Structure 1
Amino acid sequence: MIFRVLAEATMVAHFLFIAFVVLGGFVAWRWPKAIWWHLAAAAWGLCIVVFELNCPLTYVEDWARDRAGQSGLSRGFIDTYLTGVMYPERYLNEVRLLIAAVVVFSYAGLAHRWRRRAPRQEAPRQEG
């Protein structure tokens, strides 16, 4: 029972991580220090896609499901729960581009907000 709960909790954590990869730049609009966490998460997400790595959370979920007497993921997390479920497999590259566009847009918006908030230095006043 505990391993099934662990597997399900890992699956939820994985979904939350993916949501943070996609939307974390917007979180930094409200909490600017979150950008460092998002940069790390986005870099990891990019490495997973580019180098076709398995996330450690996938290994944890597989391990827990195996201990619970269930079959593990036959494919990666995204291939199991998202591709072909949330969007057709033929649109995988378009979805990846859309995610990249969302991240870039969130960073552009964050940069704009930072520039607007930056204290402006006034030119020294000349007396005379």
Structure 2
Amino acid sequence: MGYRWLGWALVAVHFGYLAYLLLGGFVAIRRPRTLVLHLLAAGWAVVVVAGHLSCPLTAAQDAARHAAGLPPLTGGFLASYVRGVLYPSGAETLAQVLLGTVVLVSWVLVALRWWRPAWQRRSGRRSG
């Protein structure tokens, strides 16, 4: 029973990672120190997707499922819980492009917020 709970906890961690991947750049607008963590999270996503690598969270979830007497995920986490649920099955590339666009927009907003001249930050005035 404990391994089954561990498997579900890993599903929650996976969804938490996806939420942070999507929204972490916007968090960095207010908390710029989190930008490095978000850059690492986004970089990891690019490496895993572009390199067709298996995610260690998926491997851990499969191990927990095996220990609980359950079969492994067919096709991994995205195929089991995301594709066809959060976006249509045939739209994976579109979903990846949209996710990447949201992340890049958040980074541009971080840059606009934190990389303007110091005198503008102190006075509260914005350029543009």
TM-score by length of 2: 0.89
Q: Which runs of 5+ in 1 are unaligned?
A: 122-128
CA RMSD of aligned residues (A): 1.3
Q: How many residues align?
A: 120
Equivalent residue number for residue 56 of structure 1: 56
Equivalent residue number for residue 25 of structure 2: 25
**Deviation for aligned residue 1:22:** 1.4
- Cα separation, 2, equivalents of 1:52 and 1:79: 13
1:30-85 CA-to-partner distances (Å, cap 9, x unmatched) read 21100010000000001111011111000000000110111110111111111122
Matches within 5 A, 1:17-96: 17-96=17-96
Quick one: percent identity of the two aligned structures?
40
- Cα separation, 2, equivalents of 1:72 and 1:4: 12
Structure with more helix by fraction: 2
Equivalent residue number for residue 9 of structure 1: 9
Moved over 2 A (4+): none
Find the structure with the greater CA-based Rg.
1
